[in-house]
């Protein structure tokens, strides 16, 4: 785009963000070749109308010399004539002068009297709260003074400031997308061991009282279709929704959640777009309810060799040999670990509430998978949920998963570190496993 056109867009950015309706422009911009489908999907995933407008203007500045006049044509065709006229004339954005403030009589604020501790009256009927004893199977005891208690068996849990309501029966929908066999032209290898992961998670979430639906070997458009179907369901009778992605992954640009997941055709879906299908704007029946996403895929192509720790921190690593990577190697075949190594990735706001995205690996790094027992992440996640779901909240359990996965070692050298993007507002306790 020519510099003069960029300056016009930048001067009028406030008006564009405030008044532009991107939803009416997408088809026209695609038809005229201003944006690609992937760029339109990225803009749609930006969030609110204002966020989409801001992203659209930002991306427009990166397009060719005809992008600006074609954008004006699209504005005219969609009835956004005033914006088109402002941009055509190169007029600067309207600046509003603040009104002259009127003098307001303000009350005089007097400080409250200071009361000493000896003079204060302490109510005798305030109940003292003690931490509940935790079972010895829990990897670590709660911090001293912790006032949160695991849910007692048989107690009806209602939504509160501290905990989400999670007593609906069934508790909610759980969609598992398991991509194992990839098309030859995708340049992605089949994912041995993924069916083991899928079976474990299907059993686990059924035990946690979820309705589990499994979809296998989906292309990019089919992944989007299944997520759209899930978002259009009525979740009003449920308390939670879970999406699990088992596939190859990669790094992509993002402004909220990193990473993307591949369809079997080699085309990816950004994690940010996956989460947007279920946010409060696109799925009203899940507003204020927890939406959980578990991503077993690579965050990129780097391999983590770890670092030395002090003797106090040192713990024996679990040495594992029959491992496959969840990323395509960035180096030549001579640098690969062995001929059997496989990969699950190519090398390469307003914050949404009530969403948690748990990644099998740190953004930018590979994720390891055993061809017989499944991935490290899913194997340990399944065990932690089985042993601790009755007593611990989800975030605490994910910390346990992080710790145990970090002890593993592929080929005696490479490490893995899971992590989460947590936008939950409360503690989340699953129902006691059946």
Beta-ladder partners of 213 = 175
Report the 10 Å Cβ neighbour count for 250. Answer: 23
Sign for the CA dihedral angle at 269, 274, 277, 281 comes to: negative
Q: CA 432 to CA 389: how far, in whole Å?
A: 6
Helices 37-44 and 49-60 cross at an angle (nearest 10°) of 140
Beta-ladder partners of 174 = 212, 242
The set of residues, in sequence order, having a beta carbon less than 8 Å from that of 131 and lying 6+ positions away, is 142, 144, 145, 146, 147, 149
Q: CA 341 to CA 343: how far, in whole Å?
A: 7
Helices 376-388 and 394-406 cross at an angle (nearest 10°) of 140
Burial 123-158 (b: 16+ CB within 10 A, else e): eeeeeeeeeeebeeebeeebeeeeeebbbeeeeeee
Long-range Cβ contacts of 34-41 (<8 Å, 24+ apart): 34/60, 34/63, 34/67, 34/70, 34/71, 34/74, 35/59, 35/63, 41/270, 41/273
Question: Which alpha helices (H) appear in 36-178, and where do they start and end?
Answer: 37-44, 49-60, 67-77, 81-88
Q: CA 327 to CA 350: how far, in whole Å?
A: 31
Question: Which alpha helices (H) appear in 61-174, and where do they start and end?
Answer: 67-77, 81-88
CA count, 13 A, side-chain hemisphere, 28: 18
- What is the DSSP secondary structure assignment for residue 424, as one 8-state letter? -
Q: CA 344 to CA 186: how far, in whole Å?
A: 12
Question: Is the link from the previous residue into 170 a cis peptide, with omega within 30 of 0?
Answer: yes
**Residues carrying an active site annotation:** 248, 298
Which helix (DSSP H) or strand (DSSP E) does residue 379 occupy? helix 376-388
């Amino acid at each position: 785009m020519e510099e003069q056109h960029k300056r016009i867009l930048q001067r009028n950015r406030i008006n564009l963000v405030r008044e532009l309706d991107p939803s009416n422009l997408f088809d026209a911009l695609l038809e005229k070749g201003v944006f690609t489908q992937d760029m339109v999907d990225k803009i749609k995933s930006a969030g609110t109308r204002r966020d989409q407008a801001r992203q659209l203007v930002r991306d427009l500045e990166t397009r060719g010399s005809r992008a600006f006049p074609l954008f004006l044509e699209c504005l005219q065709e969609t009835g956004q004539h005033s914006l088109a006229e402002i941009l055509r004339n190169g007029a600067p954005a309207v600046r509003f002068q603040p009104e002259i403030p009127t003098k307001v009589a303000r009350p005089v604020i007097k400080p409250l009297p200071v009361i000493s501790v000896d003079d204060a009256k302490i109510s005798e009927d305030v109940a003292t709260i003690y931490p509940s004893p935790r079972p010895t199977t829990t990897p670590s005891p709660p911090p001293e003074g912790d006032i949160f208690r695991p849910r007692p068996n048989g107690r009806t849990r209602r939504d509160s400031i501290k905990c989400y309501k999670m007593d609906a029966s069934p508790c909610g929908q759980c969609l598992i997308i398991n991509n194992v066999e990839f098309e030859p032209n995708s340049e992605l290898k089949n994912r041995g061991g993924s069916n083991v992961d899928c079976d474990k998670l299907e059993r686990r979430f059924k035990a946690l009282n979820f309705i589990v639906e499994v979809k296998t070997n989906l292309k990019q458009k089919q992944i989007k279709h299944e997520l759209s179907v899930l978002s259009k369901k009525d979740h009003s009778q449920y308390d939670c929704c879970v999406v699990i992605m088992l596939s190859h992954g990669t790094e992509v640009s993002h402004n909220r959640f990193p990473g993307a997941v591949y369809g079997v055709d080699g085309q990816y879906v950004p994690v940010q777009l996956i989460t947007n299908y279920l946010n409060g704007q696109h799925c009203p029946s899940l507003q204020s309810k927890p939406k959980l996403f578990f991503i077993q895929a690579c965050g990129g192509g780097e391999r983590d060799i770890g670092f030395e720790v002090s003797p106090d921190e040192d713990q024996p690593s679990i040495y594992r040999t029959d491992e496959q990577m969840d990323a395509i190697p960035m180096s030549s075949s001579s640098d690969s670990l062995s001929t059997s190594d496989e990969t699950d990735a190519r090398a390469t706001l307003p914050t949404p509430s009530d969403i948690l995205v748990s990644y099998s690996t740190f953004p930018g790094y590979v994720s390891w998978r055993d061809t017989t027992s499944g991935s490290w992440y899913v194997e340990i996640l399944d065990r932690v949920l089985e042993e601790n779901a009755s007593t611990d909240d989800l975030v605490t359990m994910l910390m346990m998963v992080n710790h145990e996965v970090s002890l593993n070692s592929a080929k005696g050298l490479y490490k893995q570190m899971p992590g989460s993007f947590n936008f939950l507002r409360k503690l989340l306790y699953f129902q006691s496993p059946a």
